[in-house]
A = this chain, B = another copy of it.
Amino acid sequence: MALSHAILVCLTERPMSGYDLAKFFDTSIAFFWKATHPQIYRELKKLEEQGCVTSNEEVQSGKPNRKVYSITDAGRDALKAWSREPVALPLIKDDLLVRLQAIEHVDKDALRAQVRARLAAHREQLEQYHHIRDMRFSGGAAVPEDLGKLMGLELGIQYEQGWIAWCESVLERLERA
């Protein structure tokens, strides 16, 4: 469904192998979409059958060969058609919030440790986003092609800041109780 479109979006940037895509999903666009490598290889096969991407094998000495995929005109058309469809609200699945809901039925020490771990993860993520912003968008201005990426990054930064503040306030209250 949308994974195929996310892959096409990545390939508008530059041609990539399945391996590259897996890493790209793990780093660059991990905030909006996640995918594991079996999923990516499976989807690339389908996209190739549909003619949305083409592959060509790059022979490498020593290392195994790379199969590099590029988006086709049909792929670009599919992307544009998809962009006109209505968007779904992002789905959230959060273990930690579910546990909070049943606060009287969970292990409170474990919960505190989990909130602390979450706080640390959000702080780290925020730092990474700041780093990317400083590297790619220093000054705040972006060329038109990159405006969307900058806005995505701004959302990420705001999102992490929100979580950090929330975790801190939750920890305070949990430690008092």
Contact = CB atoms under 8 A, between A and B. Distances in A.
Interface of A: 2, 5-6, 8-9, 12, 29, 31-34, 76, 79-80, 83-84, 86-107, 110-111, 114, 117-118, 121, 144-145, 147-149, 151-152, 154-155, 158-159, 162, 165-166, 169-170, 173, 177
Contacts of A118: 87, 89
Given A97-B32, A102-B79, A173 B158 contact: no
B147 A32 contact: no
Given A98-B29, A104-B145, A151 B170 contact: yes
Contacts of A93: 2, 32-34, 90-91
A101 B9 contact: yes
Q: Interface residues of A: mostly helix, strand, loop or mixed? A: helix
Contact of A31 (B34, B92, B147): B92
Given A2-B93, A92-B92, 16 more contacts: A5-B98, A12-B102, A31-B92, A34-B92, A79-B105, A83-B110, A86-B117, A87-B95, A87-B96, A90-B95, A91-B93, A100-B148, A100-B149, A100-B151, A100-B152, A103-B148
B32 A101 contact: yes
A72 to B, nearest CB: 13
B148 A102 contact: yes
B155 A166 contact: yes
A90 B92 contact: yes
